A and B are shown apart, each in its own frame.
Chain A
Amino acid sequence: NAGVTQTPKFQVLKTGQSMTLQCAQDMNHEYMSWYRQDPGMGLRLIHYSVGAGITDQGEVPNGYNVSRSTTEDFPLRLLSAAPSQTSVYFCASTPLAGVGETQYFGPGTRLLVL
């Protein structure tokens, strides 16, 4: 089991460029989520999904799009990157019926927007 994988590990973008952060999990988890972590702050929820074809917004969704065409994959798209999106991005997954189960986090993607 690879668990939750994220690519790339590190990315530098110029303002206005677009990119997709990839996230995949091989645990057959229905629930997947994207967080961003800024210095001195905890993780904040961007978007989440409870299954293929179903997504919803979290606390800080502006500037980000998601889709969920398969159980395994949950990509995060930045349509026009801004310096304020410089952050570390974590993807996570968990079973939908998981009450006491943790979310399983990927290793993170460090994004720098110039």
Chain B
Amino acid sequence: AQKITQTQPGMFVQEKEAVTLDCTYDTSDPSYGLFWYKQPSSGEMIFLIYQGSYDQQNATEGRYSLNFQKARKSANLVISASQLGDSAMYFCAMREGLYNQGGKLIFGQGTELSVKP
């Protein structure tokens, strides 16, 4: 079974509008973390935002926010006021377990976001 599912292979958004990228996850481990990364066409992996399984509040980092719904096992990324430079591939990832106990980072298949002027 897929542990991280991103159901939107590609999305378009108008510049200056908000966009939500979907991510659902599956784990029985009570200690996990959820990450979003941006991969522009140049190929590097850019960390955007993190949400811990025990965090009570949704994470925010500038124009990025994470809509964390623990019971639904979803961790959607919201980008407000889209910019042309936001056009990229976006990956949701889950750290299952703790690194000092052999925890691993598992990635979804990604969503390609295109921002239209």
Contacts and interface: CB of A to CB of B under 8 A. Distances in A.
A103 B45 CA distance: 10
Interface string A74-91: 000000000000001010
B104 A48 contact: yes
Interface centre among B35, B98, B107, by most chain A C-beta atoms within 10 angstroms, is B107
B44 A107 contact: yes
Contacts, number: 60
A90 B76 CA distance: 25
Nearest to B108: A42
A100 B43 contact: no
Question: Contact size class for B?
Answer: 20 to 34
Contacts of B35: 102
Contacts of B109: 40-42
Nearest to B98: A99
A60 interface: no
A43 B107 contact: yes
Interface in B28-63: 33, 35, 43-45, 47, 50, 52
B36 to A, nearest CB: 10
A68 to B, nearest CB: 14
B50 A100 contact: yes
A99 B32 CA distance: 9
Contacts of A98: 99
Contacts of A59: 106
Contacts of B99: 31, 50, 94-98
A88 B43 contact: yes
Interface string A17-53: 0000000000000010101000011111100101000
A33 B52 contact: no
Interface in B86-117: 91, 93, 98-100, 102, 104-110
Nearest to B49: A102
A42 B108 CA distance: 5
7 contacts: A33-B105, A40-B109, A94-B99, A96-B100, A99-B33, A103-B105, A108-B43
Given A42-B109, A43-B91, A50-B100, 15 more contacts: A33-B104, A41-B110, A42-B110, A43-B93, A43-B105, A43-B107, A45-B106, A48-B104, A92-B105, A96-B100, A99-B33, A102-B35, A102-B50, A108-B43, A108-B44
